[in-house]
């Protein structure tokens, strides 16, 4: 069943099994929560606001899409496409997912759905922590500007461009957080989210040498004596002369004087 919660009423279209947000939503005290049994789409120029201690949470059993321009005024924006109810995504410790703090300690979020796609057009949340959990869904966005970014997903991909904490370069990805781990399939400004080296290097696997089962031990044989070599040792001279007398007496008489 679909439930919507906010403190200030706003025009929201719930036809077709999904939710379309086309106007501003503001919570002057507490959380701004939207739950949809289908997809959620944000269209046009929209601002979502919450109190300084509140959360802006959009939860769907389906895709999340944003077209036009979305501005976030609040400590956080949480988007989930795995089928959880928005209230279940509230921080366990209370308060909001705050920049540089709780967002780095978020564990796995597993709902009843494999995960829908998440797509942004223009997102302006430069003072907010933005956390996206999409299961195996594909995450895309060409103008995503956030204070901090957290992504929990596996089996899909992310291709995002923009800025994190005012950083528009490839090093912005270092400031993001990826759960369960940094993955080359999840990128911000072409670099793996959460990786200090831009790409995630594969773990080194030691190569085991081939097992030797058959081998032979070869013993070096002494070199044959060179009869024409100069005699440098008296013992060699005597031995050589004895051999020459047996094999070539005439030569022995010439060299063995």
pLDDT at 106: 67
pLDDT at 86: 92
Task: Write down the pTM of the prediction.
Answer: 0.74
- Which token pair is 26? 């503001």
pLDDT at 3: 36
Per-residue model confidence as pLDDT tens digits over 220-246: 555 555 555 554 454 567 777 877 777
pLDDT at 216: 64
The bridge status of strand 177-179 relative to strand 186-188 is unpaired
Closest by Cα among 182, 10, 164 to 99 = 164
Listed by start position, the domains of the chain span: 4-192, 212-257
The distance in angstroms from the start CA to the end CA of the chain is 120
- Paired residues of 122 in beta bridges: 69, 143
Question: Which regions in the chain score pLDDT beneath 50?
Answer: 1-15, 231-232, 234
Per-residue model confidence as pLDDT tens digits over 68-116: 999 999 999 999 999 999 998 888 777 888 755 566 666 667 788 999 9
Question: Could you identify the residue written with the tokens 């089996």?
Answer: 155
Buried b (16+ CB within 10 A) or exposed e, 169-208: eeebbbbbbbbeebbeebbbbebbbbbeeeebeeeeeeee
- Which token pair is 177? 């957080």
């Amino acid at each position: 069943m679909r439930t919507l919660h906010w403190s200030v009423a706003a025009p929201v279209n719930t036809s077709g099994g999904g939710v379309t947000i086309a106007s501003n939503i503001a919570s002057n005290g507490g959380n701004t929560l939207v739950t949809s049994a289908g997809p959620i789409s944000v269209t046009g120029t929209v601002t979502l606001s919450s109190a300084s201690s509140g959360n802006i949470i959009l939860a769907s059993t389906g895709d999340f899409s944003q077209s036009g321009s979305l501005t976030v005024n609040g400590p956080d924006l949480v988007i989930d496409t795995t089928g959880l109810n928005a209230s279940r995504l509230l921080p366990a410790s209370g308060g909001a997912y705050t920049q540089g703090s709780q967002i780095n300690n978020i564990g796995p979020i597993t709902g009843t759905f494999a995960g829908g796609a998440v797509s942004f057009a223009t997102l302006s949340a430069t003072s907010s922590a933005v956390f996206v959990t999409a299961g195996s869904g594909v995450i895309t966005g060409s103008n995503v500007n956030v204070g901090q970014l957290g992504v929990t997903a596996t089996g899909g991909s992310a291709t995002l461009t923009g800025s994190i904490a005012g950083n528009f370069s490839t090093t912005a990805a270092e400031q993001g957080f990826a759960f369960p781990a940094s993955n080359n399939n999840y990128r911000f400004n072409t670099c793996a989210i959460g990786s200090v080296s831009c790409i995630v290097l594969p773990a080194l696997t030691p190569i085991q040498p081939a097992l030797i089962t058959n081998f032979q031990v070869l013993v070096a044989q002494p070199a044959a004596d060179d009869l024409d070599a100069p005699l440098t040792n008296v013992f060699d001279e005597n031995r050589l002369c004895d051999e020459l007398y047996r094999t070539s007496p005439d030569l022995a008489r010439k060299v063995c004087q």
